[in-house]
């Protein structure tokens, strides 16, 4: 079969949820040590990549609110160029599906998809360990999307242990509130000294997201949406918010709840997956070349 290396690639960049999130300490560099479970979702942005022979990295489609040089897809491409010294460039695009700044990791996932996609397209063939270390320089949430599995996470989110989680259906609501990750990490109200959990499984008690109580106080829309969703199932906030979520056993149940979400909020239903749809797409591309 003909090589696909000179065609435009369309790759998924899936969302994540933090099923619980504890902060266990603050490091000398100001970053926080966490314990969390990353649950991947089969619900994704679409990243497009087209190889260029001239070394130019050009964003051809993306968020109007994010300057091309600030876009994590451009940053990821430049980081891989710098690391490998490749002569190739790329036309990059992202079609956003995932709410921005919602704690579901859209920008981080776009970066991971760009890294892994270009690693193949530019024929760099870097091993996972090296891609993970580049990912870490782009953001604390990027490594889990490079690893491409739902996982228990420690450190700043880069120390990952794959987990087989029940593949439930989630209703995710974005209550139209935008919260700065950096600002929230610096809140005086945050609990930063949770006991380190030894068992790398979903804790049966003390399994909250420590950001949630802080956000509930400051953002009434988040408080209201959590109260609303709690009528149907246990509802939590993911990451630094503002998205909230609840799980259901079937797609039918999840869709029935989503259809009742007040129109002032954005909502979607997504299946939990243990393996990223990105890795599957990349495997197919590799087989074609």
Ligand X SMILES: Nc1ncnc2c1ncn2[C@@H]1O[C@H](COP(=O)(O)OP(=O)(O)O)[C@@H](O)[C@H]1O
Interacting residue ranges for ligand SUD, rule: CB under 6 A: 18, 31-32, 34, 36, 103, 105, 108, 139-141, 156-157, 181-182, 185, 239-240
**Cβ-based nearer residue to ligand SUD, 30 or 85:** 30
Non-local CB neighbours of 71 within 8 Å, separated by 6+ positions: 59, 62, 63, 92, 94, 110
Q: How far apart are CA 27 and CA 155, in angstroms?
A: 10
Interaction of residue 57 with ligand X, rule CB under 6 A? no
Least distance in angstroms from the C-beta of 163 to ligand SUD: 15
Interaction of residue 143 with ligand X, rule CB under 6 A? no
Q: Comparing C-alpha atoms, which of 59, 57, 62 is closest to residue 46? A: 62
**Cβ-based nearer residue to ligand X, 8 or 180:** 180
Q: Comparing C-alpha atoms, which of 5, 3, 11, 269 is closest to residue 148? A: 11
The answer to whether the annotation marks 102 as part of a ligand binding site is: yes
List the single partner that 71 binds among ligand SUD, ligand X, none, CB under 5 to 8 Å by kind: ligand X
Least distance in angstroms from the C-beta of 67 to ligand X: 9
Q: Which residue is nearest to ligand SUD (CB)?
A: 239
Stretch in the footprint of ligand X (CB under 6 A) among 34-42, 51-59, 64-72, 269-277? 64-72
Interaction of residue 72 with ligand X, rule CB under 6 A? yes
Q: Which residues pair with 12 in a beta bridge?
A: 46
Interaction of residue 103 with ligand X, rule CB under 6 A? yes
Interaction of residue 117 with ligand X, rule CB under 6 A? no
| CB neighbour class for 176 (10 Å; exposed up to 12, middle 13-18, buried from 19) | middle
The answer to whether the annotation marks 37 as part of a ligand binding site is: no
List the single partner that 140 binds among ligand SUD, ligand X, none, CB under 5 to 8 Å by kind: ligand SUD
Q: How far apart are CA 83 and CA 102, in angstroms?
A: 30
Question: What track of x and - describes contact with ligand X for positions 167 through 206 (by CB under 6 A)?
Answer: --------------x-------------------------
Cis peptide before 242 (omega within 30 of 0): yes
Backbone angles phi, psi at 169, to 5 degrees: -110, 135
Q: Comparing C-alpha atoms, which of 10, 90, 11, 88 is closest to residue 58? A: 90
Catalytic residues: 16, 141
The answer to whether the annotation marks 244 as part of a ligand binding site is: no
Q: Which residue is nearest to ligand X (CB)?
A: 107
Our measurement of the distance from residue 196's CA atom to the centroid of its chain's CA atoms, rounded to an integer in Å, reads 24
The answer to whether the annotation marks 108 as part of a ligand binding site is: yes
**Cβ-based nearer residue to ligand X, 99 or 277:** 99
Q: Comparing C-alpha atoms, which of 158, 134, 4, 147 is closest to residue 76? A: 134
- State how far the alpha carbon of 204 is from the alpha carbons of 208, 239, 248, 278, in Å: 10, 19, 18, 31
Interaction of residue 71 with ligand X, rule CB under 6 A? yes
């Amino acid at each position: 079969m003909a090589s696909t290396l000179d065609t435009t690639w369309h790759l998924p960049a899936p969302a994540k949820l933090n099923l619980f999130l504890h902060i266990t300490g603050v490091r000398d560099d100001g970053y926080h040590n966490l314990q969390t479970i990353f649950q991947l979702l089969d619900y994704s942005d679409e990243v497009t990549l087209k190889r260029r022979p001239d070394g130019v990295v050009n964003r051809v489609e993306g968020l109007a609110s994010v300057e091309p040089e600030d876009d994590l897809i451009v940053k990821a491409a430049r980081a891989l160029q710098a690391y490998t010294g490749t002569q190739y460039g790329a036309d990059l695009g992202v079609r956003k599906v995932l709410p921005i700044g919602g704690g579901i990791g859209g920008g981080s996932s776009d970066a991971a998809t760009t890294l892994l996609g270009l690693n193949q397209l530019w024929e760099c063939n870097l091993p996972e360990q090296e891609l993970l270390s580049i990912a870490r320089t782009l953001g604390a949430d990027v490594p889990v999307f490079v690893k491409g599995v739902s996982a228990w996470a420690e450190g700043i989110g880069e120390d990952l242990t794959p987990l087989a989680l029940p593949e439930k259906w989630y209703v995710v609501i974005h209550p139209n509130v935008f919260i700065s990750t950096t600002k929230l990490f610096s809140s005086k109200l945050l609990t930063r000294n949770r006991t380190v959990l030894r068992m790398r499984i979903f804790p049966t008690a003390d399994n909250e997201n420590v950001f949630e109580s802080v956000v509930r106080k400051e953002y009434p829309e988040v408080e209201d949406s959590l109260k609303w969703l709690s009528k149907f199932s246990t509802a939590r906030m993911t990451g630094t918010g503002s998205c909230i979520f609840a799980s259901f056993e079937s797609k039918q149940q999840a869709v029935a709840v989503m259809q009742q979400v007040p129109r002032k909020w954005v909502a979607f239903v997504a299946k939990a997956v243990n393996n990223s749809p990105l890795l599957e797409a990349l495997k197919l591309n590799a087989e074609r070349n």
